[in-house]
Chains A and B, each alone.
Chain A
């Protein structure tokens, strides 16, 4: 028991740094979730292009980022690009890397949702006189987003968990600070258990919000 009290004392002493790390984790999570979603809407729009070349390039983009480990991409930008004279901050590298990665996954969820849309509704939009862009913005996108809510919220949860990878490119997020605490007091088990519980608590909040969102957005419009 005295072990735990000592550990909590260390946590309190190191509290400001841990809180700062938690703030950095949440900042990265919010930014990449938003940029990843916006990026995915653009990628999704391009997958619906009438031009075959645009479709192929977009498919290649999605396949590349789904097929490549994120850590490779982050290391490529953070450790590789300086050899070409381009030095980016850890936060910038993390945001760019995660955005490209998350956008590819989200675009797949949106595309799968699109395949489930009633094509007659889209034809009705064109028949009413809407332009292709209006049909996309007013009909295709709202419906695809709603149908993709479960996939998109799962991705948001993954984003939070994956954000811990950013400590490998010197981004001082929550896990990096817990790591620092553990190397100071050698209480590895307790430190990583605490990190796991904090991630679980944060994910639980996201899950509760996501389920509310699903209830409000998906159920009223039915199948």
Chain B
């Protein structure tokens, strides 16, 4: 059974469709990258799946359970999906350690000592333990994104969603984060990643999904999509510079 199966997903804002019948499936341990031009609905798709945005119609099965039903426990669903944001979205009034502990204490009901242990473990995994007492304003962009990933992983989610994880970073920091996500890929963490970053897509993904005008225009492995695709619009999007190096 797929971890996630989306079928015929539609989202309209003021009658204007942003997602127009999206089908998507994600197996356990799989990594998929969603690419496409700005405004094609990539971020909305992620937000519909965890119900931050209410879909207009369509079906989303999460481990076989229809999570678009009105009686769905939305908060429980969200706790099973780790979400990493483009601009990191760390809680600025909390230190790196407390950012991770907040969910563990208030949602997982862990004791302070347990939450600290768990948070330190995740910070170590992200090579960030020495920065545990720093506030987000005292961290670089790359460091913030590491803490954001640690915060998501600490909740032990079934899948990690990344919404443009490298687009707010300079190239050096972006490469660091790509290496980290790649490490997660090696560790068999299930991930769904929205990005414009071809370098990231090449590095981490089994499959790439090309979204355009709210629809999946193509899906294939990296070589198929990034290198000389038949569709001229997809070729135009990725451009000649993205071909195999």
Which residues of A approach B to under 8 Å, CB–CB? 118, 120-121, 123-131, 134, 138-139, 142-143, 146, 220-223
B52 touches A118 (CB 8 A): no
CB-based contact A129/B79 at 8 Å: yes
- Contact A222/B78 with A118-B92, A130-B106 known, Cβ cut-off 8 Å: no
A27 CB to nearest B CB, Å? 32
**A121 to B87, alpha carbons, bound, how many Å?**
9
**What is the distance, in angstroms, from A218's C-beta to the closest C-beta of chain B?**
10
Q: Are B102 and A120 in contact (CB under 8 A)?
A: no
Total interface residues on B, CB under 8 Å, equals 26
B residues near A, CB below 8 A?
Answer: 50, 52, 75-76, 78-79, 81, 83, 85-87, 89-93, 102-103, 106-107, 135-138, 151, 155
- Decide if B52 touches A127 in the complex (CB within 8 Å): yes
In the bound complex, do residue A129 and residue B78 qualify as a contact, i.e. CB atoms below 8 Å apart?
Answer: yes
Q: Which residues of A are found within 8 Å of B155, using beta-carbon distances?
A: 128-129
Bound-state Cα–Cα, A127 to B161, Å: 10
The prevalent SS among residues of A at the interface is: helix
Which chain A residue shows the least CB distance to B161? Answer: A127
Give Cα distance in the complex from A221 to B79, angstroms: 26
Beyond A118-B89, A220-B135, A223-B137, whether A130 also contacts B107 by CB under 8 A is yes
21 sample A-B contacts, Cβ–Cβ < 8 Å, listed by A number:
A118-B92, A120-B85, A121-B89, A121-B90, A121-B91, A123-B52, A124-B83, A127-B52, A127-B85, A129-B79, A129-B103, A130-B106, A138-B106, A142-B93, A143-B91, A146-B93, A221-B92, A221-B93, A221-B136, A222-B135, A222-B137
Given A146-B93, A221-B135, A222-B92, do A126 and B52 touch, yes or no (CB 8 Å)?
Answer: yes
B83/A127 in contact, CB under 8 A? yes
Contacts of B50 in A (CB 8 A): 127
The docked-state distance in angstroms from the alpha carbon of A126 to that of B52 is 7
- Cα distance A131–B83 in the bound complex, in angstroms: 16
The complex places the Cα of A170 from the Cα of B75 at a distance, in Å, of 54
Given contacts A118-B87, A120-B86, A128-B83, 12 further A-B contacts (CB under 8 A): A118-B89, A118-B92, A120-B89, A124-B83, A127-B52, A127-B78, A127-B83, A128-B78, A128-B103, A128-B155, A129-B75, A221-B135
